[in-house]
Amino acid sequence: MRNGLMLLMFLFMLGGCEKLASKPASLDEIAKVVDALRTAGCTGLKELDVETDEYEVGGVVCSDGKSYDIKLDKKFNVISKREDHL
């Protein structure tokens, strides 16, 4: 009984995690994200998360040679660009 309760609590906590809300990107979405990144002077990406109202792209290398985490809105406009210090 106690193990079942612990499992239920763990699953409840996971339910609030924002990352679990993401879904896999479609091929069309990937192509549009890559095109938007190229327009912004950036290439490559290590990860792409599709959220309800935005795309989160990690490990993007831009023309200055630095790596960034970039957020795009659902119309594929850059709304946030943060240097990735990893």
Band of residue 84 on the pLDDT scale cut at 50, 70, 90: confident
Pairing verdict, β 42-43 and 47-50: unpaired
Of 8 and 22, the one with more pLDDT: 22
Question: For 3-30, what is the mean pLDDT?
Answer: 58
Global pTM value: 0.72
Backbone angles phi, psi at 41, to 5 degrees: 85, 25
Nearest to 82 by CA among 72, 74, 73, 70: 70
Helix ranges, the chain (H): 2-15, 27-39
Q: Is 18 helix (H, G, I), strand (E, B) or coil?
A: helix
Nearest to 34 by CA among 64, 61, 66, 65: 61
Mean residue pLDDT across the chain: 81
pLDDT at 14 over 50: no
